[in-house]
Chain A
């Protein structure tokens, strides 16, 4: 019985929250342009389904492409940094400096180079999602147990052997763990860029709705973002479980 309540809890809380919201809007008769009730938002979702769907796909597309680029680039750079102390020493300060730039500030430059549209959104997603992957992969490689390394080196193992047999498998839980963070960040990057410099995507749609005082549609956009975000996060969490189950069962030290 208790177990089942715990299983149901997320749904119950969500429903409760929406009910509370709906009730509050009605009791205090809050104006729709301040805070639309969930039912108003639902109406907007139904009414504007087609643009919401289309723009969601656009946002999903830019996020996914940016994310995949970040995965490729982050994995490569993370391995390079974990491989060589010299590369690490040279690149680390640069990466810290780069990471400390708020990525919104890069969007104008991307617009100068590529114009308004999909490309800046993809690149913003890439730039923002890239860093946690690099750091996690490099950490996984850098924290190989010295005993393990000694055992293998005493057998005559070359650096490549140690990387292939120990380093890379070992960094995989870190890598897959970082994907959850990276996809969330890529999403943030896409939406920021769409809001500033695009003519499609949920971010753009929300901005357009706002300028027409279509407040329920702005909120509907927010709901669409929440749904997309949850779906992408869940996909990454599932992938992580699938790929690195051993790390969860054993507790990685």
Chain B
């Protein structure tokens, strides 16, 4: 079985010629097309590194990385990314920040000037979905942290990426906003069907959103547990307060505790 994102026996060390920190070693994982995968693990185990590998931002020393059936030999140019730090450009309005990927990615790039109206509408619609209707003309510093994170999500999605990479995008938010954005994420994924890899520290988030949770070992990171999450979709938020759900969360928690002490 080949997946949409496939890492095989990957080793990655930072530093010149791989002489520094060994971040990942012997990591193998496969994410199927359209799947929502969550990656959890002890802090510093190489989760962000994994994200950079899967998008071709860095290359492994050994092993292979494949995305959409091709070996990755440079930035994949189909991925939308969102990080914990929203990194909005302060000189652009929210709308223009969200539209930034359209100025980079083909075919939007060459169509943008001709079809600006349509694209703008698309960005406005997306902003409305995440609850930012009417904020498109505001600058990032006029938005709260949660609102910036919402626009960050829009920026990651505006070009209809087939691969969405989320690195703790909800980490800095309050519990209510976070749960609200989970539902937004759930609905967007159901609607558009992009393949998603979500790195998170929040096990409830991982279980609620994903089809499969990958647990990583302490550094050097590799996948130690793959756990399918079989709750039916669409999943209501109340699911997160049910006993079955919490059993899964506890099970994952035990794996991580083990991974931490093993280090």
Contacts and interface: CB of A to CB of B under 8 A. Distances in A.
A203 B225 CA distance: 78
Given A154-B165, A155-B101, A250-B141, A148 B87 contact: yes
B141 A150 contact: no
Contact of A152 (B78, B85, B104): B104
Given A145-B85, A147-B85, A250 B140 contact: yes
A154 B57 contact: yes
B160 interface: no
A26 interface: no
Contacts of A152: 100, 104
A207 interface: no
A69 interface: no
Contacts, number: 72
A154 B87 contact: no
Interface residues of B, number: 31
Contacts of B104: 152, 155-157, 161, 165
B103 A151 contact: no
Contact of A155 (B52, B85, B91, B105): B105
Interface residues of A, number: 22
A154 B75 contact: yes
Contacts of B106: 156
A180 B56 CA distance: 42
B55 interface: yes
B47 to A, nearest CB: 14
Interface of A: 145, 147-148, 150-157, 161, 165-166, 169-170, 246-247, 249-252
Given A152-B100, A155-B104, 5 more contacts: A150-B83, A151-B156, A154-B81, A155-B105, A250-B141
